[in-house]
Homo-oligomer: A and B are copies of this chain.
């Protein structure tokens, strides 16, 4: 079973990487770009057959290691 953990900076936390990407896109000729935010995506292959258990485990991993919950929020999706 595959769990996909998406980690993004919380709203209000400055995102210099996103800002840099925004500037670069403007310079490359994409004036339509407004705010840009960048995050991480972590795909975990889990030896688990129960989707609910897999989700709980992945959320636990996100809290313990993958996300810094002071400044980042995370979301877990389970794919078959």
Chain A residues with CB under 8 Å of chain B are: 6, 8, 18, 21, 24-25, 28, 30, 32-48, 57, 60-61, 64-66
Q: Which among B30, B39, B40, B64 is the interface contact of A43 at CB below 8 angstroms? A: B39
A-B contact pairs, 29 of them (CB 8 A): A6-B41, A8-B41, A8-B43, A18-B42, A18-B43, A21-B66, A24-B65, A25-B44, A25-B61, A28-B65, A30-B60, A32-B46, A32-B48, A33-B61, A34-B45, A34-B46, A34-B47, A36-B44, A36-B45, A37-B42, A37-B43, A38-B40, A39-B40, A39-B41, A39-B42, A39-B43, A40-B40, A40-B41, A41-B41
